[in-house]
């Protein structure tokens, strides 16, 4: 993402506000027809547990997750429209409940409930919690310094949780007023809603929850 931002002529500060901690749960794929991934971290966590079955499809929430699945060796990858609702709709339209259960590889705090969304369509979804995302203890120093100096024009936010944590860390650093001059570019309305009321900054939402749509806003 930073490389893509720089390619558009902007300076980029990488400021992770969360850290991923992998788990190693048992993975039983007997009777499973597909694995559902709602993040690239889920793909990486699965890869740490076992290689992808050559005859099984990976259903990815969006393009970035699909790329991660292909990089991890999945031969069959389906891609939805970029959010959990789109993934549920895609699965319901392309898979058949009688072909087997579905496995959703997720973090401890999953976005959306695929099991509940797909149950009315006759699917059984088994969730495997393969990783945990923990908040950073403080705002990364390069970001803190740039905000304090008034040198930040925009922040790019990809998830509701990262938006909430970013706002909390900014407040913790005493930089709420400086962040008010920043424009927050949010991947989806859910991300924008998580930020609204926490920071008094301008908010822009991508027209579709895809990285390319978000990048296009930065180039506008």
Q: What is the pLDDT of residues 198-210, one digit of tens each?
A: 998 999 999 988 8
Average pLDDT over residues 119-126: 97
Q: What is the pLDDT of residues 188-197, one digit of tens each?
A: 999 999 999 9
CATH number belonging to the domain at 19-134, selected among 3.40.50.300, 3.30.1360.20, 3.90.245.10, 3.40.50.10090: 3.40.50.10090
220 pLDDT higher than 70: no
Q: In whole angstroms, give the CA distance from residue 102 to residue 164.
A: 31
- Spacing of C-alpha 16 from chain mean position: 13
In the chain, CATH 3.40.50.10090 covers: 19-134
Query: What CATH number belongs to 2-17+137-219?
Result: 3.40.50
The 3-state secondary structure of 144-198 reads HHHHHCCCCCEEEECCHHHHHHHHHHHHHCCCHHHHCCCEEEECCHHHHHHHCCC
Q: What is the pLDDT of residues 129-154, one digit of tens each?
A: 999 989 999 999 999 999 999 999 99
Q: What is the pLDDT of residue 191?
A: 94
83 pLDDT higher than 90: no
Q: Specify the pTM.
A: 0.72
Average pLDDT over residues 77-83: 88
């Amino acid at each position: 993402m930073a490389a893509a931002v720089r390619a558009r002529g902007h300076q980029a500060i990488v400021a992770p506000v969360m850290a991923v901690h992998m788990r190693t749960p048992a993975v039983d794929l007997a009777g499973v027809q597909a694995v559902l991934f709602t993040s690239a971290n889920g793909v990486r966590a699965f890869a740490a547990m076992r290689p992808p079955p050559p005859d099984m499809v990976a259903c990815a929430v969006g393009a970035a997750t699909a790329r991660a699945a292909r990089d991890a060796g999945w031969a069959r990858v389906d891609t939805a429209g970029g959010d959990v609702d789109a993934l549920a709709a895609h699965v319901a339209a392309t898979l058949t409940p009688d072909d087997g259960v579905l496995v959703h590889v997720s973090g401890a705090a999953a976005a959306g409930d695929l099991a509940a969304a797909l149950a009315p369509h006759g699917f059984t979804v088994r969730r495997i919690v393969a990783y945990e995302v923990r908040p950073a203890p403080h705002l990364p120093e390069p970001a803190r310094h740039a905000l304090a100096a008034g040198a930040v024009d925009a922040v790019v936010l990809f998830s509701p949780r990262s938006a909430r944590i970013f706002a909390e860390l900014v407040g913790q650093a005493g930089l709420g007023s400086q962040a008010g001059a920043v424009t927050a570019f949010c991947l989806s309305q859910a991300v924008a809603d998580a930020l609204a009321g926490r920071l008094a900054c301008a908010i822009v939402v991508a027209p579709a929850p895809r990285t390319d749509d978000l990048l296009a806003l930065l180039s506008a």
